[in-house]
Amino acid sequence: MSDPARPHPDVPPAPLAPAATPQGTAPASGDAAEPTAEVKRGLVVRSTGSWYDVRTDDGEYVRSRILGKFRLEAIEIDETNPLAVGDRVVVRVDPDGIGMVTEIEPRENQLSRRASGKRGAVREHVIVANVDRAWCVQATFGPKVNPGFVDRFLVAAETRHIPAGLVINKADLLEGQPRAQDAVAFWRELYEGLGYPVLVTSATGGLGIDAFAAALADKVSVVSGPSGVGKSSLLNAVEPGLGLRTSEIGERTQKGRHTTTFSTLFPAAGGWVADTPGIREFGIWDLSPQELGGYFVEFRPFIPDCRFPDCTHVHEPGCAVQEAVDEGEITPERYGSYLAMLESVDEAHEEETRMRWRKDRRPDDPDEAVEEIE
């Protein structure tokens, strides 16, 4: 396990603190005045959960902690961590080079997922803040395209009004594989037809790398996907010299081993890119079953014509979405993905409701009386 206090290899080490003057001894005559702390603005480029690397506006990298009040505020709003990569902050840099984040600027948006673990149903894990575009990376093989993961990612981006796109990597493995070529062409046509940009790339062969670099330029982007799809290899190809660690795919499971340990923001292609730890299941955060359909972009034209305003598009009579599926205007693949996602959203929503009730000791309906126990 990495030492969270160890500086990131791309971050220059902090200068050593000056030697302390023995207690009770005044500085010698002629000595320089004691250095004072500096206050700077900057961007959080790496988060380990307890330490944060902040790149200040003047180009300095500062290893920082945060004031305790921010952690208390995160607990109050059910976030796992008060700071995420992409956050703009004010940091006080002490003479020893260690920083203390004293202010967090309001976010324009944030890409989140439901936190893992027993309390995950009511806790939000913010992956990256202030995002211009989110890219979901998949692979042709090892592991192959997972449409369920893609759709969860796209819904998460839609809930935060973040433009999203799809990258299908390892295109070099398609040679001599006509069925796989047809599958990739199918998914590309499906998602492009929904308005999402799709790039087909090969980190080893160079295919699509220039197009991916152009898409990253002058933006803050997040690159996310299951382990093993080649996120780190893609970023290494886009920005030679990054030297991000990569790994091979397990032969038995065909799943990647995690190579990104902490969320990190890297300068790449003239922009900033968040390389996130591999996520095997993208848990949707804070969404009710009745809301889910609105974040499937092809459902939107039909939802106003549903008979019931809280239609879940599963069993209700007069559902315009179900009619659109029957008439081929919504693909069965996406509708099937919606049904699978709806089940998990429904379970998470029920669990969240129970846990919030226990936490707040109140019913969902604020007008419902709570029996007092003497």
Residues 82 and 71: beta-carbon distance below 8 Å: yes
CATH number at residue 182: 3.40.50.300
Largest CA distance in the chain: 89
Give the Cα separation of 291 and 193 in Å (integer): 23
Residues 169, 49: one domain? no
Same domain, 180 and 194: yes
Question: In this predicted model, which residue has the larger pLDDT, 244 or 273?
Answer: 273
Chain-centroid distance, C-alpha 213: 20
pLDDT, one tens digit per residue, over 55-65 is 999 999 999 99
Please list the residues that pair with 99 across neighbouring strands. Answer: 64, 93
Whether 182 and 319 have beta carbons less than 8 Å apart is answered as: no
As beta bridge partners, residue 136 has 166, 224
* Residue 281 in domain: no
**Under 8 Å between Cβ of 316 and 306:** yes
pLDDT digits (tens, 9 = 90+) for 15-41: 433 444 444 444 444 555 567 889 999
The phi and psi torsions of 249 (rounded to 5 degrees) equal -90, 140
Burial, 144: exposed, middle or buried (Cβ in 10 Å; 0-12, 13-18, 19+)? middle
Tens of pLDDT along 60-91? Answer: 999 999 987 776 665 554 455 788 899 999 99
Highest mean pLDDT among 26-40, 294-308, 354-368: 294-308
Residue ranges making up the domain that contains 177: 110-275
Q: How far apart are CA 341 and CA 165, in angstroms?
A: 19
| Residue 326: CATH number of its domain | 1.10.40.50
| Mean confidence (pLDDT) of the chain | 80
Number of domains in the chain: 3
Confidence of residue 357 (pLDDT cuts 50, 70, 90): low
- Report d(CA 338, CA 320) in Å as an integer: 15
Shared-domain flag, residues 67 and 204: no
Can you give the CATH number for the domain in which 95 is found?
2.40.50.140
Q: Residues 211-261: pLDDT tens digits?
A: 999 999 999 998 888 888 988 899 999 998 887 776 544 433 344 444 444
Q: Is the pLDDT of residue 371 over 50?
A: no
